A = this chain, B = another copy of it.
Amino acid sequence: MKTVETYLTPQDLAQNFSDFHAVDLVQFLAMYSSEELAQFCSLISKHQLAAIIEQSDLNLLLRIVQQLSIENLLKVFSYMSKDDVADMLGELPIALRKSLLNKMKENDRVILTSLLGYPNDSAGGLMTTEYIALNENLCVRQALNKIKEIAPKTEIITIIYLLNNQKQLVGTVNLRDLFTHQEEKLLKDFKNPNVLKVYPEEDQEQVSLLVSKYDLLAIPVVNHRDLLLGIITVDDIIDVIIDEQTEDLLGLAGVDKEERLNAPLIDSVKKRLPWLVINLATAFMASFTIGLFEGTIEKVVALASVMSIVAGMGGNAGTQTLSLVIRGIALGEVKLKEDWRLIIKEFCLGIINGAITGFITAIIIYWHYHNIFLGVIILIAMMGNLVIAGVFGFTIPLVLKKLNIDPALASSIFLTTMTDVGGFFIFLGLAQLFLAYLI
């Protein structure tokens, strides 16, 4: 493989392209004039161009990019490795990157965002590039003229993003402000410098919380050097909110968020059966718990009909706490670190609600079986199980969240296990202890 000592014309270099290593070529190209560079680019294949771009420094890169139509540039991308394209796009001026992105069809854009390495459920995956970004040093008149050009191509025109000369996001102005200020006034003189922004890797649920909390029409996405990458518009945020909610509601019931009622039968079987099988395991744990006390039940068969009340009520109370916590997590209102004290409240709630419902139950049971002890036992068992329900209904989802397991999906299975096994065990255990008084 040769290296470049003497001057070679673009033609020579293009013809003997394969004789040189790209690393050497770029050093030589750096010395070319724009004309020579343009000539060279026109002579070689997109594939070869890609190899060169991969080795170019920012300066040469920009010079080469200037020689190419956006269509050609996109063709060149197709020969480059994903991460190199990502890096390169990061280097390009915003205007160019935008026009590149806009040239792409919707599905291409999805590919591109993944090219840039952003998962679909991240800010980077949600962002669009149809926004208006202007240099903060423009005056109102210049700004309005620019906006007239750009407006037809943009999604949100109410908010204008201001960049400094380093292309960093430094503030926003509202379109209505342009109407109310002097034509010669500079944008930076009345900009709002406090811009809420997110990084592309931010989770979509967090982004939606920001947008809904601060009533935003759009939120800008910046990289860690504060370069504006794109914006996320409120209509996409609404989809996210609905999506996350569906996930939570169905997750609690053990249904995949993708499932629809009118899905083919076989798909529904595949989607719902696994959850039922998991629950079967829980059901058996409860069943075996009861099995431990079959001897006692044999002697006092009334226990068989009463025990289901204790377990059932525990499940209901637990689900109340559980769904409040799940909702709190989704709305960013509850965190284990800050709110663990609330467990004391749930504990007391279990005592109180357990005492009241337990008392009602005890009376009915006594009136039915004429056995005061059975009533006392069920009262105690009910309080115990509702405390279990409250404490675990509160703890389980928060702990799962800490372990990065979706609490909406996994919580209820653990909870029902606790309230079933707990309920049966406390009630039947007490019955066994005081068996003498029950017979």
Contacts and interface: CB of A to CB of B under 8 A. Distances in A.
A308 to B, nearest CB: 5
B284 A364 contact: yes
B317 A262 contact: no
B313 A276 contact: yes
Contacts of A95: none
B276 A353 contact: yes
Interface string A231-247: 00011011101100110
Given A151-B179, A420-B308, A253 B322 contact: yes
A297 B304 contact: yes
Question: What number of copies of this chain does the assembly contain?
Answer: 2
Contact of A255 (B234, B248, B320): B320
A194 B261 contact: no
Chain A contact-residue range equals 35 or more
Given A214-B21, A255-B320, A283-B313, A328 B261 contact: yes
Contact of A301 (B147, B277, B297): B297
Contacts of A245: 241-242, 245, 249
B212 A323 contact: no
Contacts of A288: 305
A273 interface: yes
A252 B245 CA distance: 14
Interface stretch (A37-45, A113-121, A355-363): A355-363
Interface stretch (A60-68, A71-79, A344-352): A344-352
B349 A272 contact: yes
A337 interface: no
B301 A334 contact: no
18 contacts: A23-B214, A151-B179, A212-B235, A217-B217, A217-B234, A249-B249, A249-B252, A253-B323, A254-B316, A255-B320, A261-B342, A265-B349, A272-B317, A273-B356, A282-B312, A283-B308, A290-B304, A298-B298
